[in-house]
Amino acid sequence: MSNDNIHSTHGPMSNRLVLTVWTWLLVLTAVEVFLAYVQVGLVLMLTLLMGFSIVKAALIIAYFMHLRFEKRSLVLTLMPAMIITISLMAVFFADSLRILDLGL
Amino acid sequence: MSDSSMKEARLQEWGGGTLPYSIPHIKLGMWLFIVSDALTFSGLLIAYAYLRVATPEWPTPFHLWPTIAMASLMTFVLLSSSLTMVLGVNAAQRDDRKWTVLWTLFTALGGIIFMILHGQEWAGLVHEGVTLTKNPWGTPLFGATFFGLTGLHMFHVFTGVVYLLVIAWGFSKKKFNSDHVEVCGLYWHFVDLVWMFVFPLVYLLSVKMD
**CB within 8 Å of chain A, chain B residues 93-132:** 93-94
Residue A87 lies in a domain: yes
Give me the number of domains chain A comprises: 1
| In-domain check, residue A37 | yes
Cβ pair A65:B53 closer than 8 A:
no
Give residue limits of the domains in chain B.
Answer: 3-208
Predicted TM-score of the model (pTM): 0.89
Given pLDDT bands bounded at 50, 70 and 90, which one contains residue A2? very low
| A8 has pLDDT over 60 | no
Q: Which of B41, B14, B122 is nearest to B74 (CA)?
A: B122
CA distance B23 to A18: 21
- Length of chain A, in residues: 104
Partner-chain contact A52 B200, CB within 8 Å? yes
Structural domain span for residue A39? 15-102
Q: What is the pLDDT of residues A48-99, one digit of tens each?
A: 999 999 999 999 999 999 999 999 999 999 999 999 999 999 898 888 878 8
Which amino acid belongs to residue B169?
A: W
- Please tell me whether the interface predicted TM-score (ipTM) of this complex is above 0.95: no
Q: What is the pLDDT along chain B (210 residues), one digit of tens a residue?
A: 566 666 665 555 555 567 888 899 999 999 999 999 999 999 999 999 888 888 878 888 898 888 999 999 999 999 999 999 999 999 999 999 999 999 999 999 999 999 999 999 999 999 988 888 888 888 889 999 999 999 999 999 999 999 999 999 999 999 999 999 999 999 999 999 999 999 999 999 888 876
Chain B closest CA to A8's CA: distance in Å?
6
Average pLDDT value for residue range A2-19: 65
In a domain, residue A74? The reply is: yes
In the predicted structure, residue A100 carries a pLDDT above the cut 80:
no
A9: pLDDT strictly greater than 70: no
Q: Do A22 and B79 touch (CB under 8 A)?
A: yes
Q: Which class would CATH give B3-208?
A: mainly alpha
CB contact under 8 A, B87 and A26: no
Angle subtended by helix axes B178-198 and A42-59, to nearest 10: 170
Q: Is residue A9 in a domain?
A: no
**pLDDT tens-place string over residues A16-44:** 999 999 999 999 999 999 998 888 877 78
Q: Flag whether A3 is in a domain.
A: no
Tell me, yes or no, whether A6 lies in a domain.
Answer: no
User: Which of A12, A22, A25 shows the shortest C-beta gap to B93?
Assistant: A12
Which residues on A lie below 8 Å from B42 (Cβ)?
A: 85-86, 89
Asked whether residue A84 is assigned to any structural domain, the reply reads yes
Crossing angle (nearest 10°) for helices B97-127 and B69-93: 160
Whether the Cβ atoms of residue B168 and residue B27 lie closer than 8 Å to each other: no
Long-range contacts from A89-96, C-beta under 8 angstroms, 24+ separation: A89/B42, A89/B43, A89/B46, A90/B46, A92/B46, A92/B50, A93/B46, A93/B49, A93/B50, A93/B53, A95/B50, A95/B54, A96/B49, A96/B50, A96/B51, A96/B53, A96/B54
